[in-house]
């Protein structure tokens, strides 16, 4: 175990109490309580969950249903992000950002005055917009790319508000469904041209990545530290870009992409994406992009992608985080992206 700090003073702030934030918070706290019960000590951090919504009291109970179906509940500290201004809690030893990509600048504005440049901050967002944006503002940056799946049960959605008559000792319950187990890669962000790359084995970001992988493994996640998180993020982006904009635009489940008229569109999207990635020197997966995308569509046939759910709910989507980096890279290399550009324009205008 790569110990980072005195466990008594070891606080992890998870900012963004949505599906992924709750999954991570509940799993870590459950593992910490189990370790404390069995060994009376734990190197896992205490978790403070920070969100925008006020809750009843300074703690919440997370009710998590696992993919194998049993449900467990854990209590943990909760604050609204606004309270950082008035009474900042004890400094964190690490911060995980689990908002959507477009939420990161707003969070950063509130967070930056309260943390030191040494605090490791980990981005959990899909796409590749929040990470380079934050890398320009914070040196000790880590990124995670995960294929874990989680969603919020409707009855305890992200917008749950306290009951008018609830008291401070009645904790608000927030649900989360861990839909499917996956794999997580975590690594230090490496800025372009950074000779003393953050991925250097002795850099503070690299050390933080090792510690955080330990936390995640102890919490039951399959996790690997990687010296090249950017390639992992590009790979996840490529798959998301081939599937999510199409299913969101046509309001279909992933599996319908195998049928006409969508199958030829998937092939065109993959051709456009792989040309951009080739031009950028991002290695293709063994077996090629078409085969990998088809495999993911098969494995997620019944899913409604989060971009589709956002469109249906009238919420902002992550289309900029996913298609934006491809469009900018294509422009630099003089490549045309007729289908992806069209999807970007369609999804960037408010959907009805």
Ligand X SMILES: NC(=O)c1ccc[n+]([C@@H]2O[C@H](COP(=O)([O-])OP(=O)(O)OC[C@H]3O[C@@H](n4cnc5c(N)ncnc54)[C@H](OP(=O)(O)O)[C@@H]3O)[C@@H](O)[C@H]2O)c1
Binding site for ligand X (CB under 6 A): 15-21, 50-53, 81, 98-101, 103, 106-107, 124-126, 146, 148-150, 152, 158-159, 306, 318
Between residues 212 and 306, which has the closer beta carbon with respect to ligand X? Answer: 306
Could you tell me the smallest distance in angstroms from the CB atom of residue 295 to ligand X? 18
Between residues 16 and 199, which has the closer beta carbon with respect to ligand X? Answer: 16
Could you tell me the smallest distance in angstroms from the CB atom of residue 334 to ligand X? 29
Between residues 4 and 15, which has the closer beta carbon with respect to ligand X? Answer: 15
In the block, residue with structure tokens 């635009």: 249
Peptide bond into 261 cis (omega under 30): yes
Between residues 49 and 208, which has the closer beta carbon with respect to ligand X? Answer: 49
Could you tell me the smallest distance in angstroms from the CB atom of residue 43 to ligand X? 26
Could you tell me the smallest distance in angstroms from the CB atom of residue 22 to ligand X? 8
Could you tell me the smallest distance in angstroms from the CB atom of residue 154 to ligand X? 12
Could you tell me the smallest distance in angstroms from the CB atom of residue 81 to ligand X? 4
Between residues 95 and 277, which has the closer beta carbon with respect to ligand X? Answer: 95
Between residues 299 and 331, which has the closer beta carbon with respect to ligand X? Answer: 299
User: Closest residue (Cβ) to ligand X?
Assistant: 18
């Amino acid at each position: 175990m790569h110990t980072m700090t005195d466990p008594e003073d070891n606080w992890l702030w998870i900012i963004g109490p949505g599906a992924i934030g709750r999954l991570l918070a509940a799993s870590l706290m459950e593992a910490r309580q189990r370790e404390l019960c069995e060994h009376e000590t734990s190197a896992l951090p205490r978790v403070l969950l920070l969100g925008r919504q006020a809750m009843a009291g300074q703690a919440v109970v997370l009710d998590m249903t696992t993919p194998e179906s049993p449900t467990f509940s854990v209590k943990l500290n909760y604050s609204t992000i606004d309270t950082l201004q008035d009474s900042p809690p004890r400094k964190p030893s690490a911060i995980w950002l689990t908002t959507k990509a477009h939420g990161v600048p707003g969070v950063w504005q509130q967070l930056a005055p309260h943390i030191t440049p040494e605090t490791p901050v980990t981005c959990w967002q899909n796409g590749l917009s929040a990470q380079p944006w934050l890398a320009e503002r914070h040196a000790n940056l880590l990124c995670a790319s995960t294929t874990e799946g989680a969603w919020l049960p409707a009855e305890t959605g992200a917008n749950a508000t306290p009951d008018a008559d609830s008291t401070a000792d009645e904790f608000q319950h927030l649900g989360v469904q861990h839909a499917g187990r996956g794999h997580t890669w975590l690594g230090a962000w490496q800025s372009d041209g950074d000779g003393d790359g953050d991925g250097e084995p002795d850099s503070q970001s690299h050390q933080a990545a090792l510690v955080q992988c330990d936390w995640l493994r102890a919490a039951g996640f399959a996790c690997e530290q990687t010296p090249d998180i950017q390639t992992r993020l590009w790979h996840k982006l490529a798959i998301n870009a081939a599937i999510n904009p199409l299913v969101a635009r046509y309001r279909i489940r992933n599996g319908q992409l195998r049928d006409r008229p969508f199958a030829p569109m998937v092939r065109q999207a993959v051709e456009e994406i792989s040309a951009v990635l080739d031009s950028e020197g991002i290695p293709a997966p063994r077996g090629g992009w078409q085969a990998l995308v088809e495999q993911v569509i098969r494995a997620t046939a019944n899913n409604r992608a989060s971009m589709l759910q956002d469109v249906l709910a009238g919420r902002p989507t992550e289309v900029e985080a996913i298609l934006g980096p491809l469009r900018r890279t294509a422009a630099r290399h003089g490549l045309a992206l007729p289908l992806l550009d069209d999807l970007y324009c369609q999804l960037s205008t408010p959907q009805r």
